[in-house]
Chains A and B, each alone.
Chain A
Amino acid sequence: MLDLARFATELWIARWAVAQGLGMTILISTLAIVLGSLLGIGIGLVLVYGGWIARFIVRLYVDFVRGTPVFVLVLASFYLLSGIGIQLTAFQAGLFALTIFCSTHVGENLRGSLLSLPRGQMEAGKAIGLTFPQVFAYILAPQALRQALPAWVNTATEMVKASTLLSIIGVVELLLVTREIISRNFLSLEFYFFAGLLYFLIDYAIERAGKFVERRVALPT
């Protein structure tokens, strides 16, 4: 039933493929997190400080994306963009979908953090004569970013998990590699478990890194 010896041998045979899949997973996740966060910061800023038209449009965008399952976003990206003439590889389409998904989470987090800051902070900044960009840069942003950090770490782990969906559109990341291996040696239990374990370790590493950063930037009390 559970043949560990055979699993070990098969894993050794497939080690290069697994490493490549793992590398691709990390690459996609990292790109999606970085691009998504950059876009997300813009979204958050518009939602808090934008004029009502901009806020309305961005709000529509955010609500639409968040109401749609990630899986549908990935599939839609993949089929849609080639359908209307934009030629994208599966990798690019998948990355596009994940970036959009990530941006809405980051945007909402940032909005929440900025709005949770006491009004007095803005007033105190104004009272000493700082202009709005200065108040934002020196006073609001540092506090909001500190506050948004835990949620951002959570979003990062969500992106790693979402990267598995790209296997369905043929991106050769860890899950797809796992399925290919299983199709050859039928060790479903062992290899799915192994893949799960790898994802768990990646997420765990991200969480630990996040906690470390949180401790480092925490204000002394």
Chain B
Amino acid sequence: MGYTLNFGAVWRDFDLLLSGLALGLGLAIVSILIGCVIGLAAAFATISNRVWLRRIAGAYVTAIRNTPILVLILFTYFALPQLGVRIGKIESFILTLAVYAGAYLTEVFRGALLALPGGLREAGLAIGLTERQTKIWIIIPVMWRNALPALSNNFISLFKDTSLAAAIAVPELTFYARQINVNTFRVVETWLIASLLYVAACYIIAFGLRQVERRLAIPR
């Protein structure tokens, strides 16, 4: 085989990899926050009484979930300028990822909303809150707890999807890994370390989120 492992070459640029990882994490966080707003709105739309709202939200979810994310990324980055919108790489990626996350989160929130006891909304109205107040103070806080596990899973998926930012040269972990690989030819070490970084990050995030879930859980 004639391949000797030499991690030194990769170790030298380890800080680059870490910065890429941090960027990826940051991208994921921003995207999921925006995605939550979109997803929550769309989830309410899917259970609204107005048919047109339901249709639009449904179409949004179906369209995005069945389209490859790479196509969406390229579409946003290259096609928007054609419509006159000038947008930087990172912003375009965040936009894409947020819209993508929103579609999946719509289903998560929708499921959590449907799982709520029917009487909750009525109880809020009965004590004199408006529809809007009931939504804000009662429905969303309870639904939120139900949605946490699925939300965590989606966040981890989203974090892995940030690797695709490398396709439009955003300097995140995969981008740097590819660079190091091409520069040093240390294929095994580079990709092993890149993989391990992702796996470790996912584990830590998953662990952290589970702790959060436990803290926020409604005591039973």
A interface residues (Cβ-Cβ under 8 A, vs B): 1, 63-64, 67-72, 75-76, 79-80, 82-85, 157, 160-165, 167-168, 175, 179, 182, 186, 188-189, 192-193, 195-196, 199-200, 203-204, 207
Q: Is the interface of B mostly helix, strand, loop or mixed?
A: helix
Neighbouring B residues of A204 by C-beta, 8 Å:
66
A67 touches B83 (CB 8 A): no
| 6 A-B pairs with the lowest CB-CB distances in the bound complex, closest first | A83-B187, A67-B199, A69-B163, A76-B191, A161-B68, A69-B160
Q: How many residues of B contact A (CB 8 A)?
A: 42
B198 touches A69 (CB 8 A): yes
B188 touches A196 (CB 8 A): no
Identify B79's interface contact among A63, A162, A193, CB under 8 A.
Answer: A193
The smallest C-beta distance from A53 to any residue of chain B, in angstroms, reads 21
Identify A1's interface contact among B82, B166, B177, CB under 8 A.
Answer: B82
Identify B66's interface contact among A64, A71, A203, CB under 8 A.
Answer: A203
Query: What's the Cα separation between A83 and B82 when bound, in Å?
Result: 40
Identify B191's interface contact among A72, A161, A162, A207, CB under 8 A.
Answer: A72
B181 touches A79 (CB 8 A): yes
B75 touches A165 (CB 8 A): no
A72 touches B195 (CB 8 A): yes
23 pairs from A and B in contact (CB 8 Å cutoff): A1-B84, A64-B195, A67-B203, A69-B163, A71-B163, A72-B163, A72-B191, A72-B194, A72-B195, A76-B195, A79-B187, A83-B3, A84-B187, A85-B1, A85-B2, A161-B68, A161-B69, A164-B68, A168-B70, A179-B74, A196-B75, A200-B63, A207-B66
